[in-house]
Chains A and B, each alone.
Chain A
Amino acid sequence: MTRYLLRRVPSALLVVAVASVLVFAVIRVVPGDPVATLAGPDASPEARAAIRHDLGLDRPVTTQYVAWVGRLLHGDLGTSYLIGGDIGTLVRHGLTNTIVLTAAALLIAVLLGLVLSLVTVIADKRWLDGLLAAGNTLAVALPTFVTGLLLVLVFAILLPVLPAGGVPPDGFVARPDIAVQYLLLPALCLSLPTAAALTRFLTDALQTQLREPYVLTATALGISRRRIVLTQALRNALPSTVTMLGIQVGVLLGGAVLVEAIFAWPGLGRLIEQGISSRDYPVVQVLLLLSVAVFVVTQLLSDVVHAWLDPRVRLGGES
């Protein structure tokens, strides 16, 4: 196993190193200039030169790259040019907000999917099937910016019971009751397409299970449909549903970018959008490199687990 790791880790590090060069270069190739954005159109050439010097952008690109990597290796992510502040703090804030939003959306999606699927399958009514299918189609077909605006209109403006946007003023821990109010609308908005997909998938999986011989036997023994579904069919339908849910996590993270904008939720999506539009090089570099690193580590972990489970994989390279 150690030899397997020694073989895999250097290639993972190499990927991260190459990615660091690429993200550093790509943002500089895109037309635009952070100095122009920062100084504004009426600034004098001297002011622009001074800002360029302050930001270190007048140095050769290779020197800038080496300095950036050097700082990263010392745990210093740098300072944002335009948004302002330490990037470590910005990323920490953004990441926390995005994870909380995505986790809440996932929880709502799972609860909705589970409850709706079970109710539909247990009730076994055609009209309920039709209603659920229509609701599913609507939830998937309506873009999040439409559902977001509708939710805000109904729950924040017409019935002003929930905030229209923003993050809880005292954080997520100090006042959980307030935090839930702030989370509910964006998380619900983000969860709807996933909840719909999950409901559809789980309902189908449960109905497939109900056609199995063991269900016929259980029915013949006089066990109620509800008990069969809850104690047997659900357990058998869950593994494939969980796999599908794993894929949906990626969809939720992608969808969070739009939802963060609609609900003024300062997460990573908003951060990267602002970073790119203002050519805030250090912010974009760190976020892109972070996403590459997360992907590489995930990939590495999955390979390690695979190798641990299947000796042929870890021995394959040695034979």
Chain B
Amino acid sequence: MRFHSGRPFTSKDVAFSIETWADPAWAVQFQRTAAAVTSVDTSRPDQVTLGFDHPVSNIFDLLDAMPIIDEDSIADLKAGKSYVGTGPFEFESWTPNTEIEFKRNPDYWGGKPHLAGVDTKIVTDPQSLVSQLRSGQLDAITGGSNRDLEALRASRQFDVEELKGAEQQVYVGANLQNPQLQDVRLRQAIAYAVDRPRVTNDVYRGAGYPINVPWPKYSPAYDERLNHRYDRDVAKARALVKEATQGSKGATIPLEYDASNSDTEATAQIVQANLKEAGIQVGLEPLDHSQFIKKLIGAKFKGLWVAIHSYAQWTPSTLAVSAYPFNAEHNASHFTDKGYLEHSNAAWQVTDGTGPEAVSSYRDISDDFLDNLFLIELSVIYTQVAHSPRLHGLSWSKRQEIDLDDAYLSKG
């Protein structure tokens, strides 16, 4: 096995990749897991032994997500000048803001790829993406609007894949420092009032399913019973609002969302209408993407917000230790709870992420989550890839990366 540069790949490269991944200077996923690796034995070039101070249930998630980094070209990688890896396609050229070209790596360890190369075009307008697919200019697209993807599927002229196993989840967040949101009964009212099936069907055109718990259905943490705890009940929501506010008309709660994402915008509008039915007045506040991320990181939302999170598709403990909205130590909701922190660490520090000990901790986390409702889950959603029927063998990673190792194009 060799790098694209021709240099042999050895266990030292794995050690270097893990060290780099754990370096706080890099903004990467699973950094805490990489940092939990305390030693790497590379005495044999074809074998790596990792050492830890405590069991880590999501170590295989790290090894799945982390790319192998070439030490010789890391400076160029950082500068965006090259990408030397061990994958099926080699970086060939990059025209900023326009395209990236890759060519086949004939020495790929998994076998010579069928495709001679891959041209990745940067198309920022979703409509233009779909048009270029329809006209045959592009073979596959990500980022089309849900309505367009639904129409493509219905036309039967294109294949639309739901990236199962790489789900995301749309949720309503609550800043618990907002006095109106401090009463859990009001947050429960929100959870009862939101129309999850409508969000799933109207906004995401059925590419997903409604959810209460923060896990997809195949997750070892998923519990069908808990998933119906806040099924829609507007009468119950109204009663809870009345109880929490003692009949007084509270001030309008701001609901912020990323206006550059038409899906979260539409979701926010549905949530606003749902909450109005329950007697909660909400004012929509659109933000641009950069502003939204800054507020999310800084935990500066005024009241409620609508956003999308990931990480639930991995080992469940990852959600509470790596996904910022759920992070037990510091999160955008300002939610702190000793029990939640303990349960999160307990779920993380087990050897088998699917064993009974882990599952018991996940149940505790689900209970913490549903009892406190610092986030209110709405729907699991699938990222979708549309492609022409002549493209075959497309697959993807849990991180929604398109995998073209075995892909090929047929005639016609």
User: Which residues of A are at the interface with B, using a C-beta cutoff of 8 A?
Assistant: 31-34, 36-44, 46-48, 50-51, 54, 80, 83-85, 89-90, 93-94, 149, 152-153, 156-157, 160, 163-167, 261-264, 266, 270-271, 274, 277-279
Q: How far is the CB of A270 from chain B (nearest CB, A)?
A: 7
When distances are taken between beta carbons in the complex, the residues of chain A under 8 Å from B291 are 31-32
A163 & B135 in contact (Cβ 8 Å cutoff): yes
Q: How far is the CB of B19 from chain A (nearest CB, A)?
A: 15
A83: contacting residue among B24, B97, B129, B293, CB under 8 A: B97
**A34-B290, A264-B125 known; A157 and B96 CB under 8 Å?**
no
**A165-B137, A262-B125 known; A37 and B290 CB under 8 Å?**
yes
Kindly state whether residue B66 has any CB partner on chain A within 8 Å. Answer: no
When distances are taken between beta carbons in the complex, the residues of chain A under 8 Å from B123 are 165-166, 264
Q: How far is the CB of B82 from chain A (nearest CB, A)?
A: 13
Kindly state whether residue B402 has any CB partner on chain A within 8 Å. Answer: no
For the A-B complex with A42-B322, A42-B324 known, give 8 more contacts whose Cβ atoms are closer than 8 Å.
A34-B290, A42-B29, A47-B25, A48-B27, A84-B80, A94-B97, A160-B135, A166-B123
What is the number of residues of chain B that contact chain A, defined by CB distance less than 8 Å? 42
| Minimal Cβ-Cβ distance residue in A for B307 | A41
A31 & B294 in contact (Cβ 8 Å cutoff): yes
A261: contacting residue among B80, B98, B128, B322, CB under 8 A: B128
| Minimal Cβ-Cβ distance residue in B for A42 | B324
A44 & B24 in contact (Cβ 8 Å cutoff): yes
Q: How far is the CB of A103 from chain B (nearest CB, A)?
A: 20
B29 & A93 in contact (Cβ 8 Å cutoff): no
When distances are taken between beta carbons in the complex, the residues of chain B under 8 Å from A93 are 95-98
How many Cβ-Cβ contacts under 8 Å join chain A to chain B?
139
Against A, the Cβ 8 Å flags (1 = close, 0 = not) of B364-393 are 000000000000000000000000000000
Against A, the Cβ 8 Å flags (1 = close, 0 = not) of B45-84 are 0000000000000000000000000000000000010000
Kindly state whether residue B178 has any CB partner on chain A within 8 Å. Answer: no
A36 & B97 in contact (Cβ 8 Å cutoff): no
Against A, the Cβ 8 Å flags (1 = close, 0 = not) of B120-146 are 011111011101101111000000000
| Minimal Cβ-Cβ distance residue in A for B310 | A42
Q: How far is the CA of A50 from the CA of B26 in the complex (A)?
A: 8
- With a 10 A CB-CB cut-off, give which of B27, B94, B288, B324 has the most chain A CB atoms: B27
A85 & B324 in contact (Cβ 8 Å cutoff): no
Q: How far is the CA of A237 from the CA of B25 in the complex (A)?
A: 66
Kindly state whether residue B297 has any CB partner on chain A within 8 Å. Answer: yes
A166: contacting residue among B28, B121, B311, CB under 8 A: B121
**A44-B24, A93-B95, A264-B123 known; A166 and B137 CB under 8 Å?**
yes
| Minimal Cβ-Cβ distance residue in A for B125 | A261
Q: How far is the CB of B133 from chain A (nearest CB, A)?
A: 9
| Minimal Cβ-Cβ distance residue in A for B26 | A47
B290 & A40 in contact (Cβ 8 Å cutoff): no
B128: contacting residue among A90, A263, A271, CB under 8 A: A263
Q: How far is the CA of A3 from the CA of B124 in the complex (A)?
A: 50
When distances are taken between beta carbons in the complex, the residues of chain B under 8 Å from A43 are 27-28, 297
Could you list some 21 contacts between A and B, CB below 8 A?
A31-B294, A37-B293, A43-B28, A43-B297, A44-B24, A50-B25, A51-B25, A83-B97, A149-B131, A152-B131, A152-B135, A157-B131, A157-B135, A163-B135, A164-B128, A165-B132, A167-B98, A262-B125, A264-B129, A274-B124, A278-B290
A164: contacting residue among B94, B137, B289, B323, CB under 8 A: B137
| Minimal Cβ-Cβ distance residue in A for B133 | A164
Kindly state whether residue B168 has any CB partner on chain A within 8 Å. Answer: no
Q: How far is the CA of A166 from the CA of B99 in the complex (A)?
A: 10
B290 & A42 in contact (Cβ 8 Å cutoff): no
When distances are taken between beta carbons in the complex, the residues of chain A under 8 Å from B136 are 160
When distances are taken between beta carbons in the complex, the residues of chain B under 8 Å from A270 are 97, 124
Kindly state whether residue B296 has any CB partner on chain A within 8 Å. Answer: yes
When distances are taken between beta carbons in the complex, the residues of chain A under 8 Å from B252 are none
A163 & B289 in contact (Cβ 8 Å cutoff): no
**A39-B27, A157-B135 known; A279 and B290 CB under 8 Å?**
yes
When distances are taken between beta carbons in the complex, the residues of chain B under 8 Å from A41 are 293, 296-297, 324-325
